Amino acid sequence: MVNWRRVPFPVRGRWAITALGALYVALAFGWALSQLTAGKPVSNVTLVSTFIGVPGLVLLYGSYRLPRTDVRPEFYPTVTNWCLGGLGLLLGILALYQLEPAESVSDPVRAVLVLTAFGSAAGFGVGLHDALAKTQAFEVERRNRELRQTKERLDETVARLEAANSEFEASNERLEQFAYAASHDLQEPLRMITSYLTLVEDRYGDDLDQDGEEFIDYAVDGAERMREMIDGLLEYSRVETQGDPFEPVELEDVFAAVRKDLEVRIAESDATVEIGPLPRVEGDSNQLRQLFQNLLSNALEYSGDEPPRVDITSERNGSNWTIAIEDEGIGIDPADADRIFEVFQRLHGREEYEGTGIGLALCKRIVERHGGEIRVDSEPSEGATFSFTLPAAKPRDGPGQ
């Protein structure tokens, strides 16, 4: 025996429709059998039993299909209530008609079965539309609630970001202040060290042996390298705060200026520099000039024993341009591909190659300020390709770069 208290309310609602449909189908067969036994015409019995049984079949099929509609289970009782309401409405109308003086139906039982069956089926249709409307209203409210929650989460995220951005700007400002202080406070002592060492060499050079002269040279060289590192750190710290506003920049003009700056070095190393068509981008022309100069200088510096060969190409990728600077030099171990973009990271000793270890870190910071990424693809002794992305400039008139 079914314990109805333990059956979920939505399921009970659906089972009520099933039971009602099965009842009318059973009544249709029972009524037809009683009428045929009584000798009633088959045609009349068939017609009336159909009027009773077909609504019952509609209720049975509707109950079966109900879970396969968009109606939420909690609204199944709505459909059931409409079925019972339709049944009750027509039953009430029939009762009132019977009470009307001089008016009555010839077969009240038949009328009750037919009318209530049709009333139940009609109620099912109305109830289904009502349940669908409630389901849609529920879904709209649920989506609105989710949107409100999403908006609240977005607002919280934005608030944490506007805060993180403020902290980032404050951090940049502190970094610049530190770099400026370091530049200002350390440059003077370094100049003093260099000046006094030069004075010692000038006054007592004749009294110094070879070791003493080497010691002075090492000290002067160290002071000079420290000055270069301080200048590089200061430049690195000012990428965000001291950069110029972005504007359309012709990279061919930028690279022409870089090539002019390095023409003596290119000629002395007998380098070959091949340049493909370069695009127009949105950016800071001064920082882009520094970017190209650092990368081209590296390609010339780390060329190995052979004359340097550098190829510069560009490729459009959606709203960005990818610029590639490829050389045939000594290459880089893939394990060091990320480390070389960190500040003061060097892969070679100073006796092999000069440098402060800031150049590539500065390149990365410039590219990131432009919303791009920089990477290197390389193998030892097989050259290196530095690729970076920059935002394409808006077209001037119609389609363009």
Residue 400 has pLDDT above 60, yes or no: no
Closest CA to 352 of 328, 330, 324, 326: 330
What is the per-residue pLDDT for 355? 56
Q: At what angle do helices 9-37 and 42-65 cross, to 10 degrees?
A: 170
Residue 349 has pLDDT above 70, yes or no: no
Choose between 359 and 176: higher pLDDT. Answer: 359
Q: Give the confidence band of 33 by pLDDT, cuts at 50, 70, 90.
A: very high
Residue 170 has pLDDT above 80, yes or no: no
Instruction: Find out whether 122 and 86 touch, Cβ atoms under 8 Å.
Output: yes
What is the per-residue pLDDT for 184? 66
Residues forming a β-bridge with 346: none
214-229 tens-digit pLDDT: 887 878 777 777 777 7
What is the per-residue pLDDT for 373? 93
Mean of the pLDDT values across residues 164-172? 72
Instruction: Find out whether 366 and 291 touch, Cβ atoms under 8 Å.
Output: yes
Residue 11 has pLDDT above 60, yes or no: no
**How much is the pTM?**
0.53
Choose between 244 and 313: higher pLDDT. Answer: 313
What is the per-residue pLDDT for 7? 42
Residue 5 has pLDDT above 60, yes or no: no
Residue 352 has pLDDT above 90, yes or no: no
Mean of the pLDDT values across residues 63-89? 89
Instruction: Find out whether 313 and 326 touch, Cβ atoms under 8 Å.
Output: yes
Triad 182, 186, 189: Cα angle to 5°: 170
Choose between 239 and 64: higher pLDDT. Answer: 64
Closest CA to 254 of 353, 337, 321: 321
Mean of the pLDDT values across residues 36-57? 89
Give residues with Cβ within 8 angstroms of 257, minimum separation 6: 289
Closest CA to 250 of 289, 293, 280, 286: 280
Instruction: Find out whether 195 and 203 touch, Cβ atoms under 8 Å.
Output: no
pLDDT > 70: percent of the chain: 86
Residue 347 has pLDDT above 60, yes or no: no
Residue 70 has pLDDT above 80, yes or no: yes
181-190 tens-digit pLDDT: 666 666 777 7
Residue 102 has pLDDT above 80, yes or no: no
Instruction: Find out whether 198 and 143 touch, Cβ atoms under 8 Å.
Output: no
What is the per-residue pLDDT for 6? 47
